[in-house]
Amino acid sequence: MQPLLAIALLTWKAAFRFRLFLVMAVLLLLSVVGLPLLIKDDGTARGFTQILLTYTLGTISALLGLSTLWLSCGTLARDIEECQMQMVVVKPIARWQVWLGKWLGIVSLNAALLGLAGACVFALLQWRATHLPADQQAVLRNEVLVARGAARERNFDQDIEARTNESFRDWKEKHRASTKDEQTEVRKAIHEQVKATYQIVLPGYQSRPWEIQLGLARHYLHGQPLFLRVKFNTADENDTSTYQGAFRVGVAKKTRLSQFTVQSMAPNAFHEFQLPPDLFDEDGVLTITFANPNETALLFPLDEGVEVLYREGGFALNFIRGLGIILCWMALLATVGLASASFLSFPVAAFFALGLLTMVLSSGTMASAVEQGTVAGYNPEKGTSGSSVVDVVAIPTFRAALKVIHMAEDYSPIDSLSSGRSITWSQLAMAFVQIVLILSGGIGLFGIVIFTRREMATAQGIS
């Protein structure tokens, strides 16, 4: 352990020697202090806090991410190029310890900088919040500076699948001569029809109840307001009309009741309403009924149509967990940088690492190629794709790359923090396992093996 810590300490010293720590600290502080003066918000305290969180944490992540890549490539590659590493490796220290020590040094440096910048952001937010009027403070405490959990209706996938299979069997019985393509299309259509029956609320005051199980949260939600978040669509994707809605929350003679009508709701948008406390029953089931007084059918998507948000914890711990996930990202970047520098010279390693980062950031392009089944030749009008030799290799590669990328990308703490969503300890643990242990571990192992087997005595990139 001692050699490991010694190398980590040396990495810190190198960072201080290059004034990296100081420069980064100043840049981070500037971004925290300067951004609030520059950004334009939507005019509300809530909007300002959300944009402040997004931009400060985004800037901090970007600055730290780039400097981490740079430092991790530089600290190893330049040590080798300048022949300092040759002096180290002859000492009684294993190469994997050198590699890991550098990684530890960079990650701990990141942790210190992230902690410093995070503390500033947190203090700034709290300071601003205390200077707001009471009603604005309440909005902030309830909707942004909070960790809100979410509860939805139970998953209907199995029911939908079962009903689809049943209807499809009947259809197949009647159409024995149908082709494979026809069957695929018909099954898809039946699936959508069945799914629609779970989502649609017909016009003319037809209603649809949602029973939402609050789980263990019911034990601490007594006396606390809940927030109902709804989103619906209409048949027209570009509908600019607005619709009325009549909500009833609770069950007559069983729980307290709350009823309200909303005059003007736009489709394809989230609408949030505060509900009075204690509307759920003894089993923690909150029943929400929506009646549709409009002349158009409204469709509530199963995944995000109706959601209940509730206070799960405070902002401070949520914020710390969010920073924890950002640190996991930094650890991954440090691993990528060190692994690149294990077998490449400094400029090439930096280029390679940045190239990888660009690929990750453009994963949307890969995702659409995988979805369309081709890298070229997709016909959006017919929904068909042409076949290409490149696709044979590119699509499976993209698919595999996306799986790896999603392991890191699925965690977006900045988004959760700015929207007041809870980042749970289990999410943080999962992020640590997936990003640090599995991804960083795999890449790090590769880097360590290469570095261990690398011949240090040869001329190192000197022309």
Partner 1 sequence: MNSRLKKVLLGGAAALFLIGASLVQNSLNRDRDTLELTRVEPLENAPPVLAFTTVALGGFRGLISNILWIRAMELQDNDKFFEMAQLSDWITKLEPHYVQVWLVQAWNMAYNISVKFTDYSDRWRWVKRGIELLRDEGLRYNKNELLIYRELAWLFQHKMGANLDDANMLYKQEWANEMAGVFGKLSTPNLDELIHPVTEDQRARAALLRDKYKMDPAFMKEVNQRYGPLEWRLPEAHAIYWAALGLRIAADKPSKVKPDDLIVLRRVIYQDMQLSFQRGRLVANPFAKRFEFGPNLDIIPKTNDAYEQAAEEDKANHDHILRAYRNFLRDAVYFLYEYNRISDAQRWYRYMAQKFPTDHVIDGDLNSTVGNVSLDDYALSRIQEDISGTPRDRIEGVIEGLIANSYRSLAVDGEEEHAYGFKLLAKKVWESYSSRIGKSRESAISLRPFDDIDREIRSRVLDPKEGAAPEIRAILRSRLGLPSESAAAPGPAESAGTNAPAAGATPTAVPR
Least CB distance to partner 1 at residue 380 (A): 17
Q: Is 293 or 442 the residue whose CB approaches partner 1 more closely?
A: 293
Q: Please tell me whether residue 47 binds partner 1 under the rule CB under 8 A.
A: yes
Least CB distance to partner 1 at residue 427 (A): 20
Q: Exposure pattern of 180-191 as b/e (b: 16+ CB <10 Å)?
A: eeeeeebbeebb
Least CB distance to partner 1 at residue 137 (A): 18
Specify which residues 259 forms β-bridges with: 248
Q: Is 75 or 258 the residue whose CB approaches partner 1 more closely?
A: 258
Residue 134 near residue 49, CB atoms below 8 Å = no
Q: Please tell me whether residue 40 binds partner 1 under the rule CB under 8 A.
A: yes
Q: Is 74 or 322 the residue whose CB approaches partner 1 more closely?
A: 322
Give the orientation angle of helix 45-81 with respect to helix 95-130, to 10 degrees.
160
Q: CA 151, 152, 153, 159: dihedral to nearest 10 degrees?
A: -120
Q: Is 12 or 247 the residue whose CB approaches partner 1 more closely?
A: 247
- CA-based nearest residue to 88, from 106, 105, 76: 76
Between the CA of residue 172 and those of 193, 213, 347, 457, what are the distances in Å?
Answer: 17, 37, 62, 72
CA–CA dist 275, 213 (Å, integer): 16
Q: Please tell me whether residue 44 binds partner 1 under the rule CB under 8 A.
A: yes
Residue 230 is which amino acid?
V
Q: Please tell me whether residue 136 binds partner 1 under the rule CB under 8 A.
A: no
Stretch that binds partner 1, among 250-258, 263-271, 276-284, 329-337 (CB under 8 A): 263-271
- Interface residue with partner 1 among 178, 419, 424, 452 (CB under 8 A) is 419
Total binding residues toward partner 1, as defined by CB under 8 A: 31
Q: Please tell me whether residue 92 binds partner 1 under the rule CB under 8 A.
A: no
Least CB distance to partner 1 at residue 222 (A): 27
* 213, two tokens: 């199980």
Residue 19 is given by DSSP the state T
- Interface residue with partner 1 among 179, 240, 426, 458 (CB under 8 A) is 240
**DSSP letters along 226-293, please?**
EEEEE--B-S-TT----EEEEEEES-TTTS--EEEEEEEE-TTS-EEEEE-S--S-TTSEEEEEEEE-
Residue 306 is given by DSSP the state E
Q: Please tell me whether residue 42 binds partner 1 under the rule CB under 8 A.
A: yes
Q: Please tell me whether residue 135 binds partner 1 under the rule CB under 8 A.
A: no
Q: Please tell me whether residue 25 binds partner 1 under the rule CB under 8 A.
A: no
Length of the chain: 463
* 160, two tokens: 């939908």
Residue 330 near residue 113, CB atoms below 8 Å = no
Contact track, partner 1, 192-231, x by CB under 8 A: ---------------------------------------x
- Interface residue with partner 1 among 11, 31, 50, 233 (CB under 8 A) is 50
Residues 292-321 that bind partner 1 (CB under 8 A): 293-295
Give me the phi and psi of 240, to 5 degrees please: -110, 5
Stretch that binds partner 1, among 34-42, 71-79, 84-92, 171-179 (CB under 8 A): 34-42
Q: Is 78 or 248 the residue whose CB approaches partner 1 more closely?
A: 248
Q: Is 44 or 126 the residue whose CB approaches partner 1 more closely?
A: 44
Report the relative pairing of strands 306-313 and 226-230 from DSSP bridges.
antiparallel
Stretch that binds partner 1, among 6-14, 112-120, 235-243, 353-361 (CB under 8 A): 235-243
Report the relative pairing of strands 206-213 and 147-152 from DSSP bridges.
unpaired
Stretch that binds partner 1, among 12-20, 38-46, 384-392, 421-429 (CB under 8 A): 38-46
Residues 264-293 that bind partner 1 (CB under 8 A): 264-266, 269-271, 273, 293
Q: Please tell me whether residue 381 binds partner 1 under the rule CB under 8 A.
A: no
Q: Which residues of this protein are in contact with partner 1, per CB under 8 A?
A: 39-44, 46-48, 50-51, 54, 231, 240, 242-244, 262-266, 269-271, 273, 293-295, 418-419
